[in-house]
Chain A
Amino acid sequence: MKQLLILSGKGGTGKTTIASAFIKLSKARAYADCDVDAPNLHLITKQNSLPKKKDYYGLPKAKIDTELCLECGQCMQNCRFEAISADGKYKVDPFACEGCGVCELVCPVGAVTLKPAVAGELLLYTDGEKVFSTAQLKMGSGTSGMLVTEVKKQIKSAAVDVEFAIIDGSPGIGCPVIASLSGVDMVLIVAEPSISGISDMERIINTAEKFGVKTAVCINKFDPNMQNTEKIENFCINQGISLMGRIPFDSDAVKAINNGQTIVDIDCTSGAAVKVVYSKTMELLFEEGGGLRS
């Protein structure tokens, strides 16, 4: 299965808007939303069936049995994550606990145990020909990289015969992004012509290069800042990164999204531009010898 990952570095550059347009244009039979912190793709790709849900367990969390606890304070002193407090009774802050097990180790009476903890929910929609894998991380859970891996696993095992999948990635350069990068054939970076957008784009290009994944860039909302658009294009040319095109700012795009439509469902300037970006991207993804796999 060829996998195209759409990333942005900075949030809000239009990653999901473009991913949903690509899904529509390619009539993709497999797609996934790896932005597990703030998934949005499901809002715009219409699902006709209920998803299959599965609890996702992250790292276990410590729990103190106050019946057994001697209140010696060993656990609190040794916890590196300031996760244990002693307001009267000793207790664990599940949001700060990283499940390392030090408290369990140092407790002289075995009052602390590590318990499995639900950190999120995996959702798999299979309606007719299409498979859509997504997830939602529970508030305050930190181990989203593993959940991203699970989202990708779901799509691979549910859509074995599909030759092409589109993956909406997460913002940033941290662990969820690294997890979403693994095993993909190509990354399309949606850049925005702002100083912050450029700074974030450079960071994400560096990360993708570390993984040896083929990388291309398109510029979204390019016209409010031509100068920066040219800056991005020159940067890409100098770095030998393929440019997939420009998409204009378009207030019709907001209207389409608010109606639950993709930008290629209506007749608008951004929709027309994204079609060009799409065909260039597909050409690069499926070119001979393409898909340098890490």
Chain B
Amino acid sequence: MKIAIPVDEKSLNSNVCVSFGRTPYFLIYDTDTQKSVFLDNSAAASTGGAGIKAAQMIADNKVNILLTPRLGENAADVLKSAEIEIFKTTTASAKDNIDAFIAGKLPLLNEIHAGFHGHGGK
């Protein structure tokens, strides 16, 4: 199973990035192999629709689970179509969130904020 998390730095101990669409990197953690890969988020520099593009990238990488603090409407639509489950991060560190998720302690992300109409969320 592959887990994706928006992160500020290319490290397992990095903080979770507050923005899904404009995060500099995604950490992709494979629970089977216990290996992590870092993807550069090409959507970060988009003037609009960053969440959509980032979600497309997550889906293309065959991710099953996304851990994120917040998510926009459009990105959520993409991820739901791709049948990716979305959980809310509860602490700052990426690693702690992965552990919490595996322990079944992360809640599903329920609040999806309204779209920012292609003009940049957070």
A139-170: CB near B (< 8 Å → 1, else 0) gives 00001011011101100000000000000000
Please report the C-alpha to C-alpha distance between residue A290 and residue B116 in the assembled complex, in whole angstroms. Answer: 23
Q: Which of A59, A175, A182 contacts B122, CB < 8 Å?
A: A182
Residue of B nearest to A146 (CB): B120
A182 cross-chain contacts in B, Cβ below 8 A: 113, 116, 121-122
Task: Judge whether B119 and A145 touch: CB under 8 Å.
Answer: yes
Give the size category of B's interface with A. Answer: 10 to 19
A211 cross-chain contacts in B, Cβ below 8 A: 113-114
Q: Give the tally of cross-chain contacts (CB within 8 A).
A: 55
- Main secondary structure, interface of B, reads loop
Please report the C-alpha to C-alpha distance between residue A153 and residue B117 in the assembled complex, in whole angstroms. Answer: 18
Interface centre among A149, A150, A210, A293 (most CB of B within 10 A): A149
| B78 CB–A CB distance under 8 Å | no
Please report the C-alpha to C-alpha distance between residue A293 and residue B120 in the assembled complex, in whole angstroms. Answer: 17
With A58-B47, A146-B48 already in contact, the answer to whether A175 and B119 are too (CB < 8 A) is yes
| B100 CB–A CB distance under 8 Å | no
| A179 CB–B CB distance under 8 Å | yes
Task: Judge whether A179 and B47 touch: CB under 8 Å.
Answer: no
CB-defined A-B contacts under 8 Å, sample of 26? A58-B47, A99-B47, A143-B119, A145-B120, A146-B47, A149-B22, A149-B120, A152-B122, A153-B122, A175-B117, A175-B119, A176-B119, A178-B117, A179-B116, A179-B119, A179-B120, A179-B121, A182-B121, A183-B18, A183-B70, A183-B121, A183-B122, A210-B114, A212-B111, A293-B111, A294-B113
Apart from A182-B121, A183-B18, A294-B70, list 13 A-B contacts with CB within 8 A. Answer: A59-B47, A145-B117, A146-B120, A149-B120, A149-B121, A153-B122, A179-B116, A179-B120, A179-B121, A182-B122, A183-B70, A210-B114, A293-B111
A-contacting residues of B (Cβ < 8 Å)?
18, 22, 47-48, 70, 111, 113-114, 116-117, 119-122
